[in-house]
Chain A
Amino acid sequence: MKTRWRLESVSVEGRLEDVSLHVKGVMGVLGPNGSGKTTLLMVASGALRPSKGYVERPSRIGAAWQNPYMSFHRPKVVEEVAEVAGGRSEALRLLRESGLEHTAERSPFTLSLGEARRLSIILAVAWEPDAIVLDEPTAGLDVYWKRWLIKLIESLGRPVLMATHDPLFTLAVTESVVSLRRGRVVYNGAPERAPEVKGLSNMGVGRCEARCLYGL
């Protein structure tokens, strides 16, 4: 099993510029709209080939993309999960834990954004991949389900690369952060000193306070 996960001088024409990083633990990718977060995730997961540079990555990577509905192709929610989780009873257990049991027999395309988000995240992790990529996993989730997601991410024990706009969530769950501006890495280090998180740090909100605010 190849576990090293790193990007070396990676560029994607017009979208990423000379990005080098080593993904370890739970790593956040921050930056404004259009700064290259999704592109970075696509390159890191192997979904997109960079025009320059080198990517070394684990062979099995689970991904939940920004539009969760893109992950769905089965007529029923339970079938989506059963396909990756190896059977219906396991699928129902996962749906129960993520508050989706009542949607099991529905089409995944009738789910609300929060429900669809949870389903796409389960689909990304249920087959026990070696590493996980999450693109805006908190979009559409309320505080209760954000807490669920924090616990889920921590239970995985695998490297997670996560793009997000949510500084409080970043503070609560990540171990390191890269910040992007126009496709370039402008910060790579501890979450609390990332430019997007500084506002919270200045208010005296650190990792402990953030987790406490989520009820953890």
Chain B
Amino acid sequence: MGALVELRNVSYKYPGSSGWALIGITLELGKGLSIVTGPTGSGKSTLLRVISGAVPKIYGGILKGYVRVEGKPVLVPQEFDSFIIMPTVREDLEYAAEAGGASPWEAVRVARRAAEALGIEDLLERSVASLSTGERQRVAIAAALAMGATMILLDEPLAHQDEVGASLVRESIEKLGFEAVIVAEHRISLVAGLASKIVVMDGGRIVVEGAPRDVLGYASKLMDPLGAIGDRLENCRARCLED
């Protein structure tokens, strides 16, 4: 089996929550890009947190079922800002390298390589606070790389700016050498073509999963109809003309 991630009948409940955020998830994810999609609150982020081990380690709560993950997963959360902890880019990447097991003198080299891979070597001496959101997003991914991640989990990488996030997803698969890239995103039209598997969630369950061409029609019905603007726009034009 080539599966790097294997979940069997996994359910999860946040502490203090009355309902289950994930319900009976059975799923295998392999190499390359996998996209988890679905409406807001459908369980995408929670699924990433389970795969990364953040649930239940950091979040607490009740996790049931079987979870197996091969390699070293690192989660780049939506709130990636709060995971950039050092004042300058260089210090943050060196800290990440050391957290990943590099010795302090190796860390300097590892950090430099990670910065070069993300094209942010010019930012190394800059204070993190002075960077734009797009730049900080690159720092967060460089930190995952420096930490020695073999699998990167990106939570809504397109949320801040579509094209910037999409090119980061593309680089993660094509250039950065991660074995697996798992993306949770509800606007998938820009990245769906790159995926080997798309998982559509709703209400904490998997609605459908498969190759992009098999599930995209299903996904677009469930999600942002503005991704497929055509018919609706015609109707709206007609309606606005009447008014």
Contact = CB atoms under 8 A, between A and B. Distances in A.
Interface of A: 33-34, 66-70, 76, 99, 102-103, 105-107, 109-110, 112-116, 136, 139-145, 165, 168, 203-206, 208-209, 212-213
Nearest to A206: B240
Interface stretch (B25-33, B40-48, B172-180, B205-213): B40-48
A110 B41 contact: no
B159 A143 contact: no
B226 A67 contact: no
Contacts of A168: 226
Interface in B150-166: 155-156, 159-162, 164
Given A34-B134, A67-B81, A143-B224, A112 B41 contact: yes
Contacts, number: 103
Contacts of A66: 133, 160
A71 to B, nearest CB: 11
Nearest to A142: B40
Which of A68, A114, A203, A206 has its CB near the most chain B CB atoms (within 10 A)? A114
B1 interface: no
A69 B82 contact: yes
17 contacts: A33-B135, A68-B79, A102-B17, A102-B18, A105-B17, A106-B17, A110-B15, A114-B41, A116-B79, A139-B160, A203-B233, A205-B233, A208-B240, A208-B243, A212-B239, A212-B240, A213-B236
B39 interface: yes
Given A33-B134, A106-B17, A209-B237, A136 B41 contact: no
Nearest to A136: B160
A114 B14 CA distance: 17
Nearest to B132: A34
Contact of A209 (B132, B134, B240): B240
B90 interface: no
Contact of A142 (B18, B39, B237): B39
A213 B240 CA distance: 11
